[in-house]
Structure 1
Amino acid sequence: MDHFLNESFDLKPKHSSEEALERWRKVCGFVKNPKRRFRFTANLSKRHEAASMRRSNHEKLRIAVLVSKAAFQFISGVQTSDSDYVVPEEVKAAGFELCADELGSIVEGHDVKKLKIHGGMGGIAEKISTSTINGLTSDTNLLNKRQQVYGINKFAEAEAKGFLVFVWEALQDTTLMILGVCAFVSLIVGIAMEGWPKGAHDGLGIVASILLVVFVTATSDYRQSLQFKDLDKEKKKITIQDSLC
């Protein structure tokens, strides 16, 4: 009897089987304050709910992975079909097999797939009639055609701002706007109370201060813009060394 009880109803402190827990709860089915009685015994219904929730989450995750794989395959298929590049007639007539827009999309988009489709660096160099070793040919006619198709190899310089633009930007300061309103009010009140020119001294003083700050700020910003422009010119100077091997 003791062996039967120990084997069938003995609960271990940890990792007891669900069968033993179920038998124990059936034996103690009618007890006073069951929540307190079974506070050290696993709640099998909660355990089943947790297992069911885990299975549901696992199934949802599996479906999400399958949907994402299908979407990725669909996008890849669309990109593959869209990658059938057609050479424009004017580019083909000039003797090239890639237009400037296609090259720009590869470089700006870091599109490795398009790069592989066009044969990598060697394939692109062949399609634009150049060499990764010798560079461009010295044929004047081919260089002129290349400039017509791909444009001139020159940095686009931004238009420099004039001094008046910096003056206008300096006037956009909130503090100076408030001081301008104060100067206007001071001029009106002063002239009305004390007449011209005695009543305008305070207002004109504020205006002079505002103009001084504006012109000093604009002059400083304008000089800095000229210095940055000179630095940009130095950065755009490219030095190429020709070494004979």
Structure 2
Amino acid sequence: MSANGRDSATTPLLSDSAHASGPFGIDSNELARLIDPKNPELLKRLGGVSRICTLLRVDPTTGLSPDEQSFEIGVDAAKDKPFADRRRVFGENVLPAAKSKSYIELVWEAYNDKTLIMLTIAAIVSLAVGIWEDYSPNHPQDEPRIGWVEGTAILVAVAAVVFTNATNDYQKEIQFKKLNAKKDDRTVKVLRGGKENQISVFDLNVGDILLLEPGDIIAVDALYLEGCV
């Protein structure tokens, strides 16, 4: 039992002033603990969904204000983009880009072929023998010194194959990233200023009221407010 006689499990753990360093009463780490893994008991202890809305400075009946400016005192609102505080504290609704291979890595992968490696060894041997014969004391003075040509030609051919394959793979990676970005960028319906708005999924902010219809893909981790299930 708590000091005021109420069960501590139903007493909100956070107050509006719990995070004096930020404009919100809850931070991203605390929100993450609610979702991953799902923790309804923690949600109850934090005061429920309505309390979370209060801490996030959002009215669940009207949503975020489309003209929301900085909550910080002394910040020039004219120089700040809408929802700047939310994005600074909670980040943007964008997954980190998968690390792509560099061109050098693709070159190395293209070269790691048994046939190309064997051709390289043969070319080096041929080049060494050709140079030795060209500059050998027994080399006829009236004959051109072209023993190095065969080995060099093989090396040039190997390099051409490697760089062509690496360039093709690099261009494929760029196209793949562009296609993924287009696939992930879709519109969602939110409530802002009491009105329904369609925005890019990348423009969603923590605190947005997302309106869902049958068949919609939920593009965020979220708390359920109301509706039919």
User: Smaller-chain TM-score range?
Assistant: 0.5 to 0.7
Note if contact 1:96-1:128 (Cα within 8 Å) is conserved in structure 2: yes
Higher helix proportion: 1
1:191 aligns with one of 128, 131, 143 = 131
Higher relative contact order (CA 8 A, sep 6+): 2
Higher strand proportion: 2
1:208 matches 2:152: no
Partner of 1:139: 68
1:130 matches 2:130: no
Q: Which segments of 5 or more consecutive residues in structure 1 lack a partner in the other structure?
A: 1-80
**CA deviation after TM superposition for structure 1 residue 187, in Å:** 1.4
Note if contact 2:58-2:64 (Cα within 8 Å) is conserved in structure 1: yes
Q: What amino acid does structure 1 have at the position aligned with 2:159?
A: L
Matches within 5 A, 1:79-90: none
Q: TM-score, normalised by structure 1?
A: 0.51
Q: Sequence identity, in percent?
A: 29
Note if contact 1:91-1:149 (Cα within 8 Å) is conserved in structure 2: no
Structure 1 pair 156–97 and aligned structure 2 pair: CA distance change class (3 A):
same
**CA deviation after TM superposition for structure 1 residue 158, in Å:** 5.3
Q: TM-score, normalised by structure 2?
A: 0.54
**CA deviation after TM superposition for structure 1 residue 234, in Å:** 0.8
Partner of 1:114: 42
Note if contact 2:107-2:163 (Cα within 8 Å) is conserved in structure 1: yes
Cα deviation, 1:116-136, whole Å, max 9, x if unaligned, reads 433454443332222445332
Cα deviation, 1:7-46, whole Å, max 9, x if unaligned, reads xxxxxxxxxxxxxxxxxxxxxxxxxxxxxxxxxxxxxxxx
Aligned residues: 162
Q: Distance in 1 between matches of 2:87 and 2:111?
A: 45
Match of 1:240, SS state, is strand
Structure 1 pair 190–151 and aligned structure 2 pair: CA distance change class (3 A):
same
Matches within 5 A, 1:1-245: 91-137=19-65, 138-142=67-71, 143-157=83-97, 163-193=103-133, 197-241=145-189, 242=196
Cα deviation, 1:79-114, whole Å, max 9, x if unaligned, reads xx9xx9677978345342211122234334444443
Q: Which segments of 5 or more consecutive residues in structure 2 lack a partner in the other structure?
A: 1-8, 72-82, 136-143, 190-195, 198-229
Structure 1 pair 133–235 and aligned structure 2 pair: CA distance change class (3 A):
farther
Match of 1:97, SS state, is coil
Q: What amino acid does structure 2 have at the position aligned with 1:213?
A: V
Cα deviation, 1:137-165, whole Å, max 9, x if unaligned, reads 33312434333322344454457655444
Q: Distance in 2 between matches of 1:116 and 1:148?
A: 27
**CA deviation after TM superposition for structure 1 residue 225, in Å:** 1.0
Cα deviation, 1:170-197, whole Å, max 9, x if unaligned, reads 2344543343233222211232245585
Q: What amino acid does structure 2 have at the position aligned with 1:227?
A: Q
* RMSD, aligned α-carbons: 3.7
Q: Distance in 2 between matches of 1:116 and 1:125?
A: 13
